[in-house]
Every structure is written in C-alpha cells, then in structure tokens.
Structure 1
Amino acid sequence: MNFLDHLKGDKGIWAFVILLALVSFLPVYSASTNLVYVIGNGSTLGHLTKHFVHVFLGFCILYFVHKIPYHYCKFFSKFLMPLVVVLLVYTLFQGTTIGGANASRWIQIPFIGIGFQTSSLAFIVLMIYVARYLSKVEHKEYTFQASFIELWVPVFLVIALVLPANFSTAALMFLMVCMLVFVGNYPIKYLSLIAVIGISSLIMFIALAKAFPNAMPNRVKTWESRMERFFSEDENEDKYQVENSKIAIASGGIHGLGFGKSVQKNFLPQSSSDFIFAIIVEESGLIGGIGILVLYLLLFFRFIVTAHKAPTFFGKLLIIGLGFPIIFQALLNMGVAVELLPTTGQTLPLISAGGTSIWMTCGAIGIILSVTKKEEEVAADLLESEKRNDALKRIIDREIESEEEHKIEVDSNNPLEPILNK
C-alpha cells in the first residue's frame, strides 16, 4: 500500500501544511547564524537539526491525532479544561522574568528539559470546549445566565490566566472565541454584552496593575512601551526590531538577495521566530513573501470549504475554531514585520522555529483533518454502497436474461411444447 494512502482527510490541507513546513528549513537555517555568530549559541547545523526534530515530532502528532475520531474531542475537552487551568496557574506564578518584567509563558517538561508554552495548549483546548458547548445547545434556546456560567466563566478564567504574561495571545483567544460563538449562532445582544464585559475587565486589570505594580505579575509596562513606539511619530523613538525588519524587507526588493545572504538576520534578535517573515522577504524578495501569503490564503480557503462540507455542526465549529486562528496568527506576524501592527510576539505558524508553536499547530490541524476524514469516509461508504448495488443489479439482470434465453432455447428445441401447453 502506498504511504499516501495512510494520509486521510483533505489532501489540499495536507499539501499546504507540508509545503509550509518544507519552506521553513531554509529561512530557519539562514537566520540561525544570528544565534551562532552574534549570540554564540550552538552551531547552524545544530539549530537546523533541532528544527527538523521539532517538525518531525509535529508531524508525528499530526498523524496520530488525525487518526482519532474527532467526536472524542467532546469527551477530552471536559477533562482537559481543569488541567489547563492548573498548568496556567503554575506557569504564571513560577516567577520567570525578562528584563525585570514578568514573562511566565513556559514550563520545563520534567526529565527531558524541554520548554513548553502552556498558553498554546490552552488555546486549542479552549476552542474545542467552546465548540462542544455550542454544538450541545444547537437546537436549544439560549439564556444569558446559563451560557455565562457554563461558557463564559471558563473562557474568562483561561484568558485571565494568560493575560498577565501574554497580552497578544489572550487578545487573540478572546477574538477567536467571539468569532466562533458568532458562527455558532450565539445571540448578538449577548455577545455585545460579553464584549463590553471583556473590554471593561481589561481596562480594570491595567488600572490595578498601574496602581499596584508589585501586587501581581504582569507586563503592562511592556505593552505600554510597544504601543507608544508604534504610534509615536518621533524619529528618535527606539524601534530597533521593527526598523531592522523594514530594512530587511526593503533590501529584498523583487527577487531578493538569495538564500543565506540576509544581512539583517545579524541584527534582528528574533530573526528565526517572530521576525522570520522579514528574513524570508530579504532573501527571496517580494515574490517569496507573496508566495508565503498565498500558501496561507489557500490553506484558509481549504478550511472554509471543508467547514462547509463538515458532516456535523460540531465538526464545522472545530474547523473554524482551530483553523482560522492559524491564519489570523500568520497575518498578525506579517503585519508586525511590515509595521502595520505593534509588536505582538506571535510566531509564523509552521515556519518559525520553536517546538511548542509547531507541535500545537500540527495538533490543531490533525483534529481538522480528522473532521475531513470522517466526511471522506462517509462519501467513500456511499460510493462503495452504490457500486455494490450496481453490481447486484447487473447480476440480477444477467440471471433474468439467462433464464429467458434458456426458456427460448427449450421452446425452440421442443416443437410439441405449444400443443402440450394447450
């Protein structure tokens, strides 16, 4: 049996995901020279090998998850939500700081010493949980009180635990949940009220953090400085990362400087992760940048098509809730690189270096493929059933024709048959 026969689900999604993963190796290898020669961290071959291991493990996760029936997610989400809350609490209060600011985003996996960003897992579990709730009440009448307790309290709890250390991820979570419940036919009047509550809670958190800066871990000062730099018109304002990113993009021109010939990778601190898109454009030019954008848009199109064809409402919500954030995150990353948006720290999915980002993205895509696999299997079963019915009909027709031919032959061989029948 061909290996491709083992890859179930939408072949278009498989193709675009594999292409994006393959594209990642050249820019990651090129950008790793910044870590090696400027920072003095390891070797370029070592960083390339590490990225290969991350991608390989990511595709192992993808393959394993896409084999599991997607409706199992309903069961798992109920038990994973409490686990995610515990992990987020532990992550938030473990005391990691960068430059004096709280940056508690990672935990160390015991025995193997690998860093893991718990908010990425929380994002996936939260979207599955919301999809499960919406599918459960699909044909029921919503009440704000019931939905607030069962749906929004867990959502706000998870977002509140992510917010202090990672505003961009928390904001993306809230936007994507609002998008999903809108698609899930949640009443607009209730959603508007939730938006007001969410924005008011954010304002209150910022006010408390400024009034009592040592009362809780937070990065409010970092958010303020990033917003000030983004909106500032002062030419002397320090925009080190963004300015070098724009220089890299401008240097690339139409055709680029050539793979491995980036200059700005030696100046961009996050050249292999947050600002890898700038390195791609510098080395492959506008053509390469548009090519990456087109791949994500084609993947987005496949998500829309497969969501429309999903066999169940829950499957449709899973594809939207897990697929759309991947595309939105990619657009955020590109927007930051060209200074359309303030710095967020969001990676370029499937391309940026980093284990957690790749693994969680592959896990989400595995669930999406499981939904499309179910649709594919149903179609295959119907086709097989039609083939069996056609084959049975042909056998019956042949039997009838054979009996008629046999009767005609007997009649022709017995001339007394008509007289006997009389």
Structure 2
Amino acid sequence: MISSQLKLKGDKVIWIVVFLLSLFSFLSIYSAGSNLQWTYGKISAFALLLRHAMHVLMGWLIIWMLHNIHYRYFAPVSVILLVPAVILLLYTLSQGYTIGNANASRWIQIPMLGITIQSSVIAGLVLMVYLARTLSKRENPAEWTFKMVFWQILAPIFLVCGLIFPANFSTAAIIFAQAVLLMIIAPFPNKYVFYTIGAIAAGLALFIAAVVTFPDLMPNRVDTWKARIENFINGDADNNYQVERSKMAIANGGLLGTGPGKSTQKYFLPQSSSDFIFSIITEEYGFVGAVSVLFLYFLLLVRFLMVATRAKSLFGSLLVVAAGFGIIIQALINMGVAVNLLPVTGQTLPLLSAGGSSIWTICAAIGIVQSVSRYSTENLNEDDKSSDDKAAVSNQTTETHEQEANEIYA
C-alpha cells in the first residue's frame, strides 16, 4: 500500500522534463551564484547551492503530495484560500520589503521559519485555480449574467492584479493574460472578455494620467518602468546595464559555450542566479544549451496540451491551462528578456532560477497538472477495463446461446 502511494503517477514525460530541469539547475545555480560572493561577500556559491537543494527537495515533495490528491478537491480549496491570498497581498503591499535591487516591496518574511515568500506568485496560482473552478460551473455561455460575471470573475481578477501591480507589474500582467486565456477557452461569453480587456485598458489609462498629474505618487516604480520601456523601444541597451551584460554573455557563448562554470559575465551581471540565469546558461553551454532548454519547455507545453485534452471534465481541462500555461509564459518572458526581445521584467526562469516561493509555486502547479493527468488516466483505464468486462460477458452470453442452439438442433 505504501509503495503504491510512493510511486510517481501521471504523465511520465512531464516527470522526466521536470527532473532534467531540476538537475540542470544545480549546475547553473552553483556557477551563476558565484557573483553573490564576489559582489556582496555574504553567501558562498556552495551555500546558495545547498539552499537551492532544499528548495528543490521541498518542491518535489509538494509535487508528490498534490499529485496524490484528486484534482476535484482543488476547486473548494481555491475558494477558501482566495481571501487569505488577498489579505497576504495587502500585507505585502504595506509591510513587505525589498531583496537586492528589486526596488519594490514584493516579499514578506516569516521569522519563525526563517524564510521569505513572494505573495504575488502564490496569490496568482490560487486565483487561476479559482477561475478554472468558476468558469467550469456553467457550460452554457447564456447562463452568465453581468452581475455574476462582475462578482465571480472580474472582481477577483481586478482585486488580485490591482494589489500586485504597484510592486510587480510583470507578474500582474502575466496573471491577467492567463485569466483572459481561460475566459477565451472556457464556455464564456466573448463580450465579457472584451469588457474585461477594455476595463483593464481604461484602468491603465487612468493610472498613467494619475502618475503624470502626481509624479510623486510612485516615483521609484514609475521611473523604473519608464526607463525600461524607453530603452527597449529605442533599442538603447547601453543604458541598461543588465541587458548589456546579458548580451555580452550570450555573445561569449557561441555555439557550444565556454564550458560549465567558466562564465565571465556572472561576476558582473546582476541577478545572474535568478532573472538572468538564461544568459549564464547560454554563455556556458552555448547555442546548443539554450536551444535544449527551450526544447524542454516546448515539450512541457505539448504534454500540458495532451493532459488538458485527455481530462474527463471541463474543470480538469481548465485547471491544466490555469496551472501549467503560466509556467510556459513565464519561461518565454524570461528568455525573451535575456536576448533583448522584451523589456526587463524581473521574471525568473521556472525550475532553473534560484528562489524559494517561486520554485514551490511552480512545483505546486506541476503537481496540480499531474493530478489531472493521473486521475484522468486512471478513469480511462477503468473505462477500458469496464468495456473489456462488458465485452467478455457479451461473448460468454453469445457462446452460451450458440451452445443451446446446437443442442436444440441436434
């Protein structure tokens, strides 16, 4: 019984990809983490590696625990956790603190455990599961009324994204994009999707007008956003130290890279173990290594799509999109920033970057996907077994009838 529970179930390819990314992250973290000791002198690369190992082990434990829970139980849990998640965001916005040069209050510390957590990623996952649950309750788009849409869909989205937005614009944008994707995929009236996009556009316009009118409203964050967007639009990477060093690291990599641990830009590139770890990977493992990482994320996307299509319920399909697709979007954004295709956002590379709550949240999302995969597959096997039993009974009945007929005619 115990050995059956310890066995990893679900999509095997997802298990393999997650294992490969987790294993490769140790090489990348140990190498990229050297700049922390070089720059700050507070933590060695080996200490960072040990801390990362603890985070990864905890992440795998989260995956294993969640994939053993039937995914239908995540629906009521998301409703229960939504209010605490909003309270956590409020607390972070008022009492949070910065790490490194983040220039925003994104983290809160739990003194008893000695850890820090980023509340936005936790609240984002809770919101996505809640939306999957709410959108799957009505399979007929005509059943939705404006009042229902406003209170059950729009209000939670705007509340969570609005509380994340001041300190972490990119995370708020990703969560909103995921929410819109869910509404498009679900049996949901298209007009409300356009209303949602229009409302967020109007909100951004009002925010920009308020910032222009009151420049001291959010001086640090607004100046950072403005500088990043202007530098990106003007193609002026020289005014962005991070982008400049990132491009130098990628250029040094060439086809096969400089070799594991032989990056030179890791000593100069800020956030080399988190936000810009893809640049260090490309420098040390070259174009081949970068394409291999991209392929693994593409493989994850394909398997997520397969799990979503195999799900036995609408909630299961939407749950895979809600939990899994955010990982792929975040990975593409991180790599896009590293190669200067997108403005600097501060998004980590899932399963490869250092971090605590970010790794655990991503692992929680993978555990949810594996739960859908596991129980959908088991249901399919039960259906096949039931069909085989019915066929066997039918064949036995036919043979009995034939034997009786032969005896009669004899």
**TM superposition score normalised by structure 1:** 0.89
1:47-91 deviations in Å (ceiling 9; x for gaps): 111111110000000100111111111111111111111000000
The answer to whether the Cα contact below 8 Å between 2:141 and 2:187 also exists between their aligned partners in 1 is: no
Q: Provide the C-alpha distance between the structure 2 equivalents of 1:317 and 1:336, rounded to a whole number of angstroms.
A: 28
1:352-390 deviations in Å (ceiling 9; x for gaps): 010111100000110111111111111222343355556
Q: CA deviation at 1:395?
A: 7.9
| Structure 1 gaps, min length 5 | 408-417
Residue 227 of structure 2: aligned partner:
225
Q: Secondary structure at the match of 2:88?
A: helix
Q: Provide the C-alpha distance between the structure 2 equivalents of 1:278 and 1:298, rounded to a whole number of angstroms.
A: 21
Residue 165 of structure 2: aligned partner:
163
* 1:258 partner letter: G
Indicate yes or no: 2:264 matched with 1:263. yes
CA spacing shift, 1:214–1:374, aligned 2, 3 Å: same
1:34-183 equivalences in 2 (<5 Å): 34-94=35-95, 96=97, 103-139=104-140, 141=142, 142-183=144-185
* 1:308 partner letter: T
Q: Provide the C-alpha distance between the structure 1 equivalents of 2:344 and 2:357, rounded to a whole number of angstroms.
A: 20
Indicate yes or no: 2:300 matched with 1:299. yes
The answer to whether the Cα contact below 8 Å between 1:262 and 1:282 also exists between their aligned partners in 2 is: yes
1:308-365 deviations in Å (ceiling 9; x for gaps): 1110000000001111110011000000000000000000001101011110000011
Query: Which range moves more in the overlay, 388-397 or 119-128?
Result: 388-397
Q: Provide the C-alpha distance between the structure 1 equivalents of 2:101 and 2:273, rounded to a whole number of angstroms.
A: 24
Query: Which range moves more in the overlay, 386-395 or 88-97?
Result: 386-395
* 1:371 partner letter: V
Q: Secondary structure at the match of 2:258?
A: coil
Aligned residues: 406
The answer to whether the Cα contact below 8 Å between 1:209 and 1:218 also exists between their aligned partners in 2 is: no
Indicate yes or no: 2:17 matched with 1:16. yes
Q: Provide the C-alpha distance between the structure 1 equivalents of 2:264 and 2:63, rounded to a whole number of angstroms.
A: 35
The answer to whether the Cα contact below 8 Å between 1:322 and 1:364 also exists between their aligned partners in 2 is: yes
* 1:346 partner letter: Q
Residue 248 of structure 1: aligned partner:
249
Residue 272 of structure 1: aligned partner:
273
**TM superposition score normalised by structure 2:** 0.92
Residue 414 of structure 1: aligned partner:
none
Indicate yes or no: 2:350 matched with 1:349. yes
CA spacing shift, 1:21–1:308, aligned 2, 3 Å: same
Q: Provide the C-alpha distance between the structure 1 equivalents of 2:117 and 2:374, rounded to a whole number of angstroms.
A: 29
CA spacing shift, 1:206–1:102, aligned 2, 3 Å: farther
CA spacing shift, 1:99–1:365, aligned 2, 3 Å: closer
Residue 412 of structure 1: aligned partner:
none
Q: Provide the C-alpha distance between the structure 1 equivalents of 2:337 and 2:234, rounded to a whole number of angstroms.
A: 15
Indicate yes or no: 2:180 matched with 1:203. no
The answer to whether the Cα contact below 8 Å between 1:164 and 1:217 also exists between their aligned partners in 2 is: no
Q: Secondary structure at the match of 1:136?
A: coil
Q: Provide the C-alpha distance between the structure 2 equivalents of 1:101 and 1:38, rounded to a whole number of angstroms.
A: 16
Q: Provide the C-alpha distance between the structure 1 equivalents of 2:69 and 2:191, rounded to a whole number of angstroms.
A: 37
* 2:173 partner letter: A
Q: Provide the C-alpha distance between the structure 1 equivalents of 2:55 and 2:248, rounded to a whole number of angstroms.
A: 30
The answer to whether the Cα contact below 8 Å between 1:93 and 1:217 also exists between their aligned partners in 2 is: no
1:96-140 deviations in Å (ceiling 9; x for gaps): 357998511111124012000000111111111111111112225
Indicate yes or no: 2:371 matched with 1:370. yes
* 1:34 partner letter: N
The answer to whether the Cα contact below 8 Å between 1:180 and 1:320 also exists between their aligned partners in 2 is: yes
Q: Provide the C-alpha distance between the structure 2 equivalents of 1:355 and 1:303, rounded to a whole number of angstroms.
A: 24
Q: Secondary structure at the match of 1:219?
A: helix
Q: Provide the C-alpha distance between the structure 2 equivalents of 1:101 and 1:283, rounded to a whole number of angstroms.
A: 26
1:268-319 deviations in Å (ceiling 9; x for gaps): 1111100000101100110000000000001100111111111000000000
The answer to whether the Cα contact below 8 Å between 2:273 and 2:353 also exists between their aligned partners in 1 is: yes
